[in-house]
Structures are given as C-alpha cells and as structure tokens.
Structure 1
Amino acid sequence: MNRREFLDATLALLIAPSAFAAANPSTAAQSVPRRKLGRTGEQISCVGVGGFHIGTQKEEAESIAIIRRALDNGINFLDNCWDYNGGQSEIRMGKALQDGYRSKAFLMTKIDGRDKKTAEAQISESLKRFQTDHVDLLQLHEVIHTNDPERSFAPGGVMEAMIEAKKAGKARFLGFTGHKSPAIHLKMLEAAKKHGFRFDAVQMPLNVMDAHYDSFEKRVLPVLVREGIGVLGMKPMGGNVILESKTVTAPECLRYALSLPVSVVITGMDSMERVDQALKVAREFKPLSEKEVSALLAKTEKAAKEGTFEKYKVSDRFDGTVHNPEWLGPGNAPQPPAPPQKG
C-alpha cells in the first residue's frame, strides 16, 4: 500500500463527530475522536492508555487518578497485561474501574500462557484483579518466539482457552500482540487462517522508526487493513527511546502513528501531563499530508538504521517472556525470534 492508500484507509476508520455526538450526547463535548475497531462494530478512542505505565506510580491513588482522568475526558481504550508490574497494573486499573467507570471503558488485557491450563489460570486471575466478569478484548501477549504460531493453535494450546473464554462471555473479542518480528506476525495470521480462525485485533509497534527497519507498517499493516482486522498501534515513541534520537518530538510521534490506518494508538500515560498531551494531540488531530509524512521519515531515516532506536526488535530488553519463561507455562521454553529484515 502506498501513502495515499494508507490515508484513504485511515479516513475510512474515522467516526464522524456528528455521528458520535448523536450516539453519545452526554460525553460528546469532552470526548476524543473515535475509530472503528476492524469489523467488530466497536468504536474506540483513537488514543489508548498504556497499561504498563499506570502501574509504575509510587502511590496507587495516582495510578487510579490517571486512569479516571483519561476516562472522564473521552479516552475509552485501556491496555493492560497479566504480567505488568507483578499484577499491580491490573489491580490498580480494577480499582479505577469501580464506581461506574467500568461502563466507560473498552478494557483489554493480555496473557502469556501458551498452554490451555496456564492460560485459563491467567485469565481467571486477570478478571479477579479487574473486579469484572469480562474484558472487551483478550490478547495473546508477546508473540515473538518462532514456535508461537504452532504451539498456540496446537491441541491443548492457548487458543483453546481463549476461544472458550469468549464462548463463556469472559472476553468479547480476541487478538494477539508482539513487538519483535513482522515475519512472526504474518506466520500467526497464517496459522489462524489454517485453523479456520480470524482474529478481531492485532497489536504491533507502529512509529517513525519502524517504517525504515524490519517494518510492521510495510509488511503486516496492509494485510490487516485488507482483512478488516482491528489494528492496535503501540510504542509510538518506542518506550521513549525514539525521543532520545533527538530527531522528532512526542507530538510528532503521536501524529505519525495516528495518521496510519490504526484503530487506536496506545501510549504511556504515567502522569497527568502525559494524559493531557495525548488528549491535546487526539482532539486536534488531522491526518498528516504525504509531504509531512515524507519530511518526518527523512528526519528519522539515518537514526533508524539497524534498529538503533527500536530496542524491542534488536534486543531482549522488552521481552518479558524471555526473562521470565515460567510465564509461558510448563514445557513452553521460548525459542529465538526470526532474524530482522531491513526495509
């Protein structure tokens, strides 16, 4: 897909402000733009709260206040994971969702277990932490190992647990995430197709550096758009590593990611200032022109070589299941990811 096709696909995801206001009169005035989540029929905020970051505050009350500030101001997409901060991210988010806030949120979490039994235990624990009977989107976390597609869909694998959770009403939609290799994402999509299954959403890094090196944008995004699968963009600033390149600003990073055909850009909001930054960019957002995109890519091209500012691709710094293989479940030792491909 070329830039014009990406722009057209982005515009097709946008919900007209008037349509959203008509459907949500009580919140329209303070809301942020909504986008379609693939073929699910759901409308989610174009920016979402990153789950890892809201479990890092020293005081639990601050984490709760950050989440509620986002929800009160129209951000409805909440990201999380069973393993974030030893469970504190889910526990704190669960407390924030009390007192009527659950109804404001599209709640997503992820699990690590690769076998059915481990996955079932993690799903149950997540729901208990959230103090809810279901999540809106349940995803398989860190599909970064070469054998993940095969073992996920194997008899007794994690996909059995996820599909059963959906049938039981514990999860409305199913997806997977990964930050390491476009090749493994494509292999996972092929495995799903082989088993007659279709994911509702897929999460991956989409940013100004990714476009230059082993690119999810170039290799995976067109497939998801073509198949109508919801795209969850993450790491718009690469865990803030991209900002260390001194080539782009945080707002530029968010605007670039939002200009792609994504349903939501998940970004870290570890302070009220970060929440307000995301709100400002979202509310003022207009898709970047082809000229503006070209200018940003020109500024980042040299820095992006060899994945220097995408540590999640070229190192194990972000690989939780590599450092903690027990999260995968017994007999599920991780295998190395596919080698990166330039371009």
Structure 2
Amino acid sequence: MEKRKLGKTGFEVTLIGFGGIPIQRLKDDEALRIIGEAVNQGINFIDTATGYGRSEELIGYGIEKYGRDKFYIATKSPVRDYDGMKKEINKSLKRLKTDVIDLYQLHNVRTEEQYNKVMGKDGALKALKEAKEEGKIKEIGITSHDLHILEKTVDTEEFSTIQFPYNPVERRGEDLFKKAKDLDIGVIVMKPVAGGAIKNVNLSLKFISENENVSVIIPGMDKVDQVIENSKVAKEFTQLTEEEKRIIDKEAKELGSEFCRRCGYCGPCPQGIDIPTQFILEGYYLRYDLEDWAKERYLGIDKKASDCIECGKCEPKCPYDLPIRDMLKRVSENLG
C-alpha cells in the first residue's frame, strides 16, 4: 500500500487510514473483525476521538489483539483547558490500552475564542506539550472545520499535523494543504466522502489521492468490505480517467445545491445558532447510522435549528446560495 510521510512526525503512514467514528455502534466482535481486516490490508494509521462513543475502547481491544506495532494511533479531545486535557490524555491511554499515543489532537477548534483558550497559558495545548515531554504522546495536532483557524495554526510551529475536510465537493483546503506541506506539517483528510453524501466513494478517494500535499485519508469504516474496497485505492492507485472525472464532477455539482461546506460565512446568526454544526450532526444522523449519538449531541446544543426565526440574514452571505432556512427546518424535523 502506498505510504506517505506525515509531515515533521516522520511517520510513514498508509495513504488510506482508518476513520474510527462509525465503529462506536458495533459489538466488540464486529469491531475486532473490521480492525483485523485493516491489519490484513496493511493500513497502519487509525484515527479516533474521546467523543466518538466507545470508539477508543474498541480500538484498544483491537490494538491488544493484533499488536501495538500495527498502527500509528491518533486520537483527539474537544477539551479546551489545561486540567481537563490532562485528564483526557490519561483516559485515552487507558481506553486505547497503550503507554503512548502517537498523535494527540485538539479536536474541532471552531472559533477565535476557542483558539485563544487552547493556546493560552492555562489552555489544552500546555497539557499536550507536557504529556509529550513525559512520553505519553509523541506528536501534537489540531483539527477544525474552520479554514481560517487552521490558516493561523500552521504559522505557529506548535503542531505537527492538521486535519480538515476535503473531497470533490469541499475543496477550500487546497491552498492550506500546499502551505502545510511546505512547512512540513502533515495533512490528514477527514470527510473524504462528504460525510457519506458522495456515493462514488472510490472516485472520491482517488480524487483526494491525486493531491500530493495530502498525507493520509481517513474514511470512516464499519464494514469489512469497506476496508477492502477503500484499501484498493492505495494498493492499486491510478489517476482518474477523463470519464471518472466527469462522473465525480457531476456528482459534486449535484450535491452543491444543498450541501454545507462548513465555511462559516453564514454567521454570526442573530439567534446564536452555529449553523454548520446543525448540518454536521444531521449528516451523522442520516448517513452514518448514528441516530442516537447525533440526537444526543444535537439536544445538548444551547441554540438549535429549531430556534431559527427565519430572518434570512444567513442566506445572502452563503457563497453557495444554499436555502439555509429550509435546511434548518429539515434538521429540526430530523433531530428535534
């Protein structure tokens, strides 16, 4: 399987990695079979998070069964403060059944306020740097759906990797990826099939693979055949043919009419609704078979899609002309 260097980490990672979000709903034996197939296919990078239900725990079982040396382990936490992150790191080590985590990431830093918090004197980054000195983690990364946050981040020299959505529909990160590569920062691609919205999975993965600035792609996988099919992209990599380009471009164009790219230009909402988050959670509900998990997180949000008063101030700011008010109504119906 094709491998690429994960930036300054020096890790030689497989082009296709294992996205650990969907396995949280599986039984132990099912999860172990899927992780075992990842080992069989040669996948050596596995990404999870403290917020992905039982994902860390299940991956820990897989690591225990198949061997710690089979994977570079990446996890992440949304905790923003120093004390909270110290606790999270220790919990992750225990759940993953390992003495050291290869990559620990700040998870989904979305706003300037959150960014300033994690980077501050009592922020989560301080805890991660201490954990690195103590040998509990090897490298530090950051994930976000906000392009501007990561554009700031790559100039700080604090992070070895960034993680950002990228696929034929969401292409805003291309310049960022080029800059990251030039700075020897690893690029991890999440949402490679747009949260399950893209049906031509193989073509989407091939499209992403053509970008030499991408280090590793982490499609979420919860079936053995998904592991096998996704692995083929890195095992039998070929450039997209003209016909394949036409097919995937056509699908991307069709999705564009009601697909949120999470750019954030629609905000701020006068009612305080984080609009892109509503659509992210709906995607997990509709396409990841994670109904209960998505609803729980939706109901935990202070300002929800149901709080929309249809003022319409968001829609003129959307560069993709999305019918945001109608889309929020749909979210409220699905999750509310």
Residue identity in the other structure for 2:163: Q
Instruction: Find the counterpart in structure 1 of residue 332 from structure 2.
Output: none
Compared with structure 1, are the counterparts of its residues 35 and 208 closer, same or farther at alpha carbon in structure 2 (3 Å cutoff)?
Answer: same
Instruction: Find the counterpart in structure 1 of residue 208 from structure 2.
Output: 257
Instruction: Find the counterpart in structure 2 of residue 39 from structure 1.
Output: 8
Using the size of structure 1 for normalisation, the TM-score is 0.75
Instruction: Find the counterpart in structure 1 of residue 162 from structure 2.
Output: 202
Deviation at residue 99 of structure 1 after TM alignment: 3.7
Alignment of 1:119 with 2:79, yes or no, is no
Alignment of 1:271 with 2:223, yes or no, is yes
Alignment of 1:67 with 2:19, yes or no, is no
Alignment of 1:83 with 2:51, yes or no, is yes
Q: Deviations over 1:107-158 (max 9, x none)?
A: 0000111000111111111111011111111100011223222111111001
Q: Distance in 2 between matches of 1:107 and 1:121?
A: 18
Alignment of 1:318 with 2:287, yes or no, is no
Compared with structure 1, are the counterparts of its residues 141 and 251 closer, same or farther at alpha carbon in structure 2 (3 Å cutoff)?
Answer: same
TM alignment of 1:15-34, pairs within 5 A = 32-34=1-3
Identical pairs, percent: 30
Q: What root-mean-square deviation, in Å, do the aligned CA atoms of Structure 1 and Structure 2 show?
A: 2.6
Instruction: Find the counterpart in structure 2 of residue 17 from structure 1.
Output: none
Q: Deviations over 1:83-123 (max 9, x none)?
A: 102xx101111011114521111000001110001111111
Q: In the alignment, is the contact (CA less than 8 A) between 1:149 and 1:188 conserved in 2? A: no
Instruction: Find the counterpart in structure 1 of residue 326 from structure 2.
Output: none
- SS state at 1:210 partner: coil
Q: Deviations over 1:179-206 (max 9, x none)?
A: 2x2112213334xx2xxx3311111111
Deviation at residue 318 of structure 1 after TM alignment: 2.9
Q: Distance in 1 between matches of 2:206 and 2:80?
A: 35
Q: In the alignment, is the contact (CA less than 8 A) between 1:109 and 1:138 conserved in 2? A: yes
Aligned mate of 1:217, from 160, 174, 185: 174
Deviation at residue 324 of structure 1 after TM alignment: 5.0
Instruction: Find the counterpart in structure 2 of residue 185 from structure 1.
Output: 150
Compared with structure 1, are the counterparts of its residues 310 and 171 closer, same or farther at alpha carbon in structure 2 (3 Å cutoff)?
Answer: same
Alignment of 1:152 with 2:137, yes or no, is no
Alignment of 1:282 with 2:234, yes or no, is yes
Q: In the alignment, is the contact (CA less than 8 A) between 1:316 and 1:322 conserved in 2? A: yes
Question: How many equivalent residue pairs?
Answer: 281
Using the size of structure 2 for normalisation, the TM-score is 0.76
Deviation at residue 294 of structure 1 after TM alignment: 5.9
Unaligned runs of 5+ in 2: 265-275, 282-293, 303-316, 322-336
Q: In the alignment, is the contact (CA less than 8 A) between 1:210 and 1:217 conserved in 2? A: no
Q: Distance in 2 between matches of 1:133 and 1:150?
A: 30
- SS state at 1:107 partner: strand
Compared with structure 1, are the counterparts of its residues 309 and 252 closer, same or farther at alpha carbon in structure 2 (3 Å cutoff)?
Answer: farther
Residue identity in the other structure for 1:65: R
Alignment of 1:109 with 2:68, yes or no, is no
Q: Distance in 2 between matches of 1:150 and 1:325?
A: 21
Q: In the alignment, is the contact (CA less than 8 A) between 1:208 and 1:296 conserved in 2? A: no
Q: Distance in 1 between matches of 2:301 and 2:134?
A: 28
Residue identity in the other structure for 1:172: K
Deviation at residue 228 of structure 1 after TM alignment: 1.3
Q: Deviations over 1:236-274 (max 9, x none)?
A: 11121233xxxxx11101111111121111001110110
- SS state at 1:176 partner: strand
